[in-house]
Structure 1
Amino acid sequence: MLCGGCLFLLLLNVPDGFPSESQESDERPSVVPQPPPGTPARNVPGCPANCTCPAEETVDCGGLDLHLFPGNLSKSIQHLSLQNNRLQELPCNELSRLAHLKTLNLHNNHITSEGLPDEAFESLQALQYIYLANNQLSDAPQFLPSTLRIVDMAANRLTQLYQLTFGHKPGLRSVYLHNNQLSNIGLPFDAFNGSDAVSTLILSSNLLTYLPQNLPPAVVRLHLQNNRISRVPKGALNRHWRLRELYLQNNNLTNDGLDPSTFSKLKSLEYLDLSNNNLTEVPSGLPPNVVILHLGRNRLSALPPERLSRVRGLQYLLLQSNTLTASGVHPEAFARLRSLHTLHLYNNRLESVPPGLPRRVRSLMLLHNRIAHIGPHDFAATYALAELNLSYNRLYSAHIHRLAFRKLRRLETVDLSGNRLTLLPAGLPSSLQVLNLQKNQINSLSSELLANLTRLKELHLAHNRLRIGGISPGTWQELQGLKLLDLSYNELSYVPPDLPESLEHLYLQHNRIAVLTAEAFLTTPNIRVVALRSNRLLAANVSAEAFADLKQLEVVDTTGNPELIVVPLPQAGRWVRPQAGT
């Protein structure tokens, strides 16, 4: 099962995103058992001064600015939290008394390797969870108890691990070592011998130059991003058929550093992130069950037909920020990817829509390319497309064929911002809900080009060249479901007439509006937000009746006009006079 956090990032259109170190920390289990919600705070007898002891076996002394380890702790405690203090060392005589300790939380202190002697943990034969992140350790302890399940030593200065730091611990499940200074020399070959159950291993943000060998065979999540890895030794991943998530982004990987069989044994792999490396080709031998493949920010210039054909379970393919051209994308490159529904090709060098797009793709990101025309057949086979982003290309209205969108009967969102359009595209499908056209050169609107868009909810036309004379009568009559209309940063001299009754948000800031008549919002009784910032309004030219019947009105922004304009708003059954800019 793919981790929810990874999917969540992608579904929010953050393709370059990967779990940060702080997110990795958030995924760790709670370090000290907490009482049920609503339980009143109480301390059991014998609790150390200023600490909290909700139960006899739990002591929480976190955030007390402690410089010394607390003395006289009960021998029976099982959970001890000392996080967010200023401890520099752990006294062995005090720790040795705590034979029943299961959880020891020392996050965010000043503990050094000299202050953590190897014999510190010898007596803790019940210890299962130890948290030492954000300290000043340079060497890991040479010995940790064999009973451990989770060890967190992230954000230290570690350069060296030892055979019994993590080795010979059959119950060990999770190891967090990100944000240290570990090199391959400091990570011995036998570092995890006898710890075959480790399923989460976080080694990101270290100094590794190649993928470590002899890692635990049961690992499911392997984080190696933000290192200096330039190669994966042959056979290094051959035992890891359980691996589901492999993060290798932000390294120095080249195709020469990958063997054709590097990934071929990873039968359970679902998430593979190779972004921000130096790959010039799609790696060969990719396993068939990968769901998310991230190859953004590499040096890919072509997509041959055979490299992706094995990955038949692929749903998300992220190829942004490469050097791909339309001629470099083979017509059969996506032919067998029948599950692929999200394809990111933005910030490449595409001069036209690439051929052979996946038939079932639902989200297609083509922004920031060099696309200059859209033909009648470019999207003819992508019948399932729901989201299409063509913003910041080189499109002119005359170069978008009137039949370009005829097959897209499920299309809900189209973004054509930042192009060179002077007119709305013709033939937009009736399924459309959001249309983004800001930052173009549109100077006219007509009912013909908005015909049948009865489901359109948002129309964004900011930063164009619209004047009242360029908006034909009846332009809005088909837009029966429109909720948001953005006409800001245009050249309008007054509020356009006959706006849709369904409208709730109207943005008119930075125009040339000098007059608000009593009929300005006559057709929009449901309006909630009106933005009139930075126009040419004078108080004498604003009719007192313009807003009188707008019972749902919540916000009117009139700041930045030559005079202060105060608009009464209906609130709690009475009229109030808000400050300008409310």
Structure 2
Amino acid sequence: MQLCSGGFLLLLLASVPPSFLLKDQEEDELPLTTTRPTRVTAAQNVSGCPSKCTCPTEETVDCGGLDLHIFPSNISAGVQHLSLQNNLLQELSYNELSRLARLKTLNLHNNHITSEGLPDEAFESLQLLQYLYLANNKLTVAPQFLPSSLRIVDLAANRLTCIYPFTFGHKPALRSVYMHNNQLNNTGLPFDAFNGSDAVTTMIFSSNRLTYVPQNLPRAIVRLHLQNNRITRVPKGALSSQWRLRELYLQNNNLSSEGLHPSTFSRLKSLEYLDLSNNNLTQVPAGLPANIVILHLGRNRLSVLPPERLSRVRSLQYLLLQGNPLTVAGVHSEAFSHLRSLHTLHLYNNRLDGIPLGLPRRVRSLMLLHNQITRVGLHDFAATYFLAELNLSYNRLYSAHIHRLAFRKLRLLETLDISGNLLTLLPAGLPASLQILNLQKNQLNSLSPELLANLTILKELHLAHNRLRIASISPGTWQELHGLKLLDLSYNELSYVPPDLPESLENLYLQHNRIAVIMAEAFLTTPNIRVISLRSNRLLAANVSEMAFADLKLLEVMDTTGNPEPINISLLQAANWTQTQMGT
């Protein structure tokens, strides 16, 4: 195999082989291939099938996974689909390949083929070849000449440092190129690498060593994956002709705002998905196209959101801004004002000390966890009528700093998470639409029916890791919770099972409390319960009444491990119960 020479720089190969990553192909590009063959018995093989291989038809030969060291010598010249994946081949014989002139699919994935073992003319006579799979081998330079008939070429997970003009170029039928997990940098990628291959729609060059976005890419490209490289800039005009591009992955690079020209993205009129996360951007890129649906800007260095950068992206539905140094002062009140389609906004892991002004009016999912928010005011959520999921966990909220009417307008709110704060009381004025309420890891020391009133469709209530005692749970606390199915009171200070639990309850978690006795009436009001966890309490066998479980016909799991004594409970009356308790 001739190494890159002439106008190409000779590249040293690295010693660590990359790991193979699976690609996802377009359905209409999948060949009638033997990549996932149906195994047949020897009796079903057609005549002339190579030893140990399977041949369901005269055109299909599967010799995959046979630990072959040598290319089979007796393959029929009429074969069209040949699988040799998962073997130990180190080289390909030109003489053997040249006989297979009718070959359309050749799968050599996961062998030990080296560039030295792959002659320049290896595929010369395969003028009908459409699908070539050479992923996960030991190639250091790409094949110099590939047939012009190819539709898909997969060279992923090799050690490639160089490709040639005729590797991917001058192939009018070529649709997909997979080059991820190699060692390719820009000097090994010629400017004319795709000349004459104008129909390419999918290019996967992720996990290489590129330092800038390649230029002169095919105009028909739809999916371009360049994540996990070392890209610091996008040259001016590099993407100016790719007006069909819909997906652009640039995450996990070294892009700075200075490396993006104001017109970098402006001509990508079809762009719907843009991932710029985990870079070094200090500003939202200018000139973002209006049709973007998903925009990832997380884990950058954004400290401000001005009004003009996002306002023209009218189709935006998902905006991900997590892991930046954004403050409330840095978020302009008009930053989201024109984003009428935006329904998911991630602002977690920033430096917000309050709720930003001007939140998108139609937002449905708002992630504000892991910030420094100290208060929720009367008007903070007054305009977000469509909010269905709100996460305020792991901030610095005190009960006194959440306005009693803060959630009054959220009549569609289904999930509220305020865990990991400093609350001593449940927030007032919770919406009747709530289905999941998470308040774990606070300092709650009391529960009262007034604060849970009207939550008739609440399904899950998470109160673990608080300071609740039986005496601090007022009578009637659960009376409005007619739909509650899961109640988590673990890691509190309860001395026995709370009375009058809702009839609808199915899952009850009481582990790591101080429960020392289970009385006969403990589960009298919960006939539908399926799971009870009493792990790591203070239970002694003599203090556990078997009558407490006698009528629990649906009970499936009861965990009493970690108590001072093993607890043996006969649940023969519970017809569907399977004994899963441990340590008995």
TM-aligned CA deviation for residue 576 of structure 1:
7.0
TM-aligned CA deviation for residue 46 of structure 1:
1.0
Partner of 1:264: 266
Which one-letter code corresponds to 1:374 in the other structure? V
Partner of 2:225: 223
Paired with 1:81 and 1:575, the residues of 2 have a C-alpha distance of 50
Partner of 1:49: 51
Paired with 2:182 and 2:573, the residues of 1 have a C-alpha distance of 56
TM-aligned CA deviation for residue 72 of structure 1:
1.0
TM-aligned CA deviation for residue 544 of structure 1:
1.4
Is residue 22 from structure 1 mapped to residue 21 from structure 2 by the alignment? yes
Task: Summarize deviations over 1:92-147 as a string: whole Å, max 9, x none.
Answer: 00000000000000000000001011100001011000000000000101100000
Change in 2 beyond 3 A, CA 1:323/1:21? farther
Partner of 2:418: 416
The alignment partner of 2:308 has SS state of: coil
Residue in structure 1 matching 2:78, options 73, 76, 79: 76
Q: TM-score normalized by structure 1?
A: 0.94
Partner of 1:243: 245
TM-aligned CA deviation for residue 31 of structure 1:
7.2
Alpha carbons 2:552, 2:574 under 8 Å: kept: no
Partner of 1:63: 65
Change in 2 beyond 3 A, CA 1:355/1:217? same
TM-aligned CA deviation for residue 43 of structure 1:
1.1
Alpha carbons 2:271, 2:289 under 8 Å: kept: yes
Partner of 2:12: none
Choose 568-577 or 142-151, whichever is displaced more: 568-577
TM-aligned CA deviation for residue 570 of structure 1:
5.0
Question: Please, which runs of 5 or more residues in structure 2 have no aligned partner?
Answer: 1-18
Paired with 1:139 and 1:34, the residues of 2 have a C-alpha distance of 24
Alpha carbons 1:553, 1:570 under 8 Å: kept: no
TM-aligned CA deviation for residue 567 of structure 1:
2.5
Counterparts of residues 233-382 of structure 1 (less than 5 Å): 233-382=235-384
Alpha carbons 2:21, 2:157 under 8 Å: kept: no
The alignment partner of 1:121 has SS state of: coil
TM-aligned CA deviation for residue 22 of structure 1:
3.1
Which one-letter code corresponds to 1:366 in the other structure? L
Partner of 1:32: 33
Alpha carbons 2:424, 2:442 under 8 Å: kept: yes
Question: Please, which runs of 5 or more residues in structure 1 have no aligned partner?
Answer: 1-19
Change in 2 beyond 3 A, CA 1:330/1:23? farther
Paired with 1:258 and 1:168, the residues of 2 have a C-alpha distance of 31
For these two proteins, the number of residue pairs brought into alignment is 563
Alpha carbons 2:508, 2:531 under 8 Å: kept: yes
C-alpha RMSD over aligned residues: 1.8
Which one-letter code corresponds to 1:515 in the other structure? V
Residue in structure 2 matching 1:159, options 155, 161, 164: 161
Counterparts of residues 429-444 of structure 1 (less than 5 Å): 429-444=431-446
The alignment partner of 2:416 has SS state of: strand
Q: TM-score normalized by structure 2?
A: 0.94
The alignment partner of 2:137 has SS state of: coil
Which one-letter code corresponds to 2:127 in the other structure? Q
Change in 2 beyond 3 A, CA 1:482/1:133? same
Paired with 1:315 and 1:570, the residues of 2 have a C-alpha distance of 54
Which one-letter code corresponds to 1:417 in the other structure? S
Is residue 120 from structure 1 mapped to residue 122 from structure 2 by the alignment? yes
Paired with 1:203 and 1:347, the residues of 2 have a C-alpha distance of 30
Which one-letter code corresponds to 1:253 in the other structure? L
Paired with 2:157 and 2:203, the residues of 1 have a C-alpha distance of 15
Is residue 394 from structure 1 mapped to residue 387 from structure 2 by the alignment? no
Paired with 2:498 and 2:574, the residues of 1 have a C-alpha distance of 30
Task: Summarize deviations over 1:69-101 as a string: whole Å, max 9, x none.
Answer: 011110000000000111000000000000000
TM-aligned CA deviation for residue 55 of structure 1:
1.0
Change in 2 beyond 3 A, CA 1:258/1:23? same
Alpha carbons 1:447, 1:474 under 8 Å: kept: yes
TM-aligned CA deviation for residue 34 of structure 1:
7.8
Q: Identity across aligned pairs (percent)? A: 79
Which one-letter code corresponds to 2:560 in the other structure? T
Which one-letter code corresponds to 1:353 in the other structure? I
Change in 2 beyond 3 A, CA 1:293/1:280? same
Paired with 1:491 and 1:107, the residues of 2 have a C-alpha distance of 59
Paired with 2:577 and 2:417, the residues of 1 have a C-alpha distance of 40
Paired with 1:462 and 1:575, the residues of 2 have a C-alpha distance of 26
Residue in structure 2 matching 1:201, options 190, 200, 203: 203
Alpha carbons 1:551, 1:570 under 8 Å: kept: no
Which one-letter code corresponds to 1:188 in the other structure? P
TM-aligned CA deviation for residue 29 of structure 1:
3.4
